[in-house]
Amino acid sequence: MDTQLLDLMKKRRTIYALGKNVSIPQDELYKYIKEVVKYTPSAFNSQPVRAVVLFNEQHDKLWDMVSDALQDNIAPDAFLRTKAKISTFKNAFGSVLFYTDMDVVKAYADNPKLATYQYQEYNWSEEAQGNAQFAVWTGLEENGLGVNIQHYDPLIDPLVNSEFKIPASWQLRAEMNFGSIENPAGDKDFMDDAKRFKLYK
C-alpha cells in the first residue's frame, strides 16, 4: 500500500520552539491554508469551519491579547509561569484562529429534513474542526514548518473578536501557531495496540 499519507502523519508532531525563519511567502501560505480548509470534509458538506490567518504585528498582537487576558484572570504567580510560555507562541511566524460558524450548525440542526440528526450537528461540527486542524497541521509540517495548537478560548474571545472584527456567530475553537522548527519534538509514546484496536474477519 502507498504510505505517503501515513509517513506525513508520523512526521506531524507538536513543536513548541518555533521561530520566524520561514522562506515561504505569506500570501502563498494563506492561499494554501484556505485551500486545505476548503477541501476538508464535513457532515452534509455543511462547511462550518472558519479560519483567520495572522502574520507580522497581527500575530504578535494576538499573543499580547492572550497575555493580557490571562493576567486579568489568573493568580499573579500562575501568570508569571504562563507568561514565558506565551512568549514562545509569539516567537512563531504566524497563527491560525479556527472558528465554527454556529449559524451553520443551528441551520442544519433546525432543518426538518434532518430532524433525526439534530442532536448530532454540534458533534459533527467538532469532527469538521478536527479534520481541518489536522489537515492544516499536517500540510504545514509537509512544507517544513513546525506547529502547535493552543486553546485559550473562550477566555480571549472578547478581545480577539473585537480586534479582528469576528462575526458574532463564529465560535473560537483553537489557536494554531506555525513557524520554523527551532528545536525538534522528543520521543512519543503510544498505548498498547491491543487496548485500542479490534479486527474481525
Q: What is the CATH number of the domain that holds 98?
A: 3.40.109.10
* Model pLDDT, residue 120: 85
* Model pLDDT, residue 115: 78
**Which three three-digit cell numbers place residue 117?**
440528526
* Model pLDDT, residue 112: 81
State which amino acid sits at residue 36. Answer: V
In a domain, 200, yes or no: no
In a domain, 166, yes or no: yes
* Model pLDDT, residue 108: 86
* Model pLDDT, residue 109: 84
Would you say 54 and 179 are in contact if contact means Cβ atoms under 8 Å apart?
no
Would you say 164 and 193 are in contact if contact means Cβ atoms under 8 Å apart?
no
**Which three three-digit cell numbers place residue 79?**
501568570
* Model pLDDT, residue 77: 86
- Mean pLDDT, consecutive 10-residue segments, the chain of 201 residues? 95 96 99 99 96 99 96 87 92 99 92 80 94 98 98 96 98 98 94 98 98
Q: How far apart are CA 136 and CA 152, in angstroms?
A: 19
Q: How far apart are CA 153 and CA 157, in angstroms?
A: 6
In a domain, 201, yes or no: no
In a domain, 162, yes or no: yes
**Which three three-digit cell numbers place residue 55?**
502574520
* Model pLDDT, residue 69: 93
Residue ranges making up the domain that contains 100? 25-172
Candidates 15, 55, 40, 33; CA nearest to 127 is 40
* Model pLDDT, residue 21: 98
Name the phi and psi angles at 178, rounded to 5.
-145, 150
In a domain, 192, yes or no: no
* Model pLDDT, residue 152: 96
In a domain, 118, yes or no: yes
Candidates 183, 174, 128; CA nearest to 14 is 183
**Which three three-digit cell numbers place residue 151?**
486553546
β partners of residue 99: 50, 172
In a domain, 152, yes or no: yes
What's the structural domain count of the chain? 1
In a domain, 122, yes or no: yes
Q: How far apart are CA 22 and CA 69, in angstroms?
A: 29
The residue count for the chain:
201
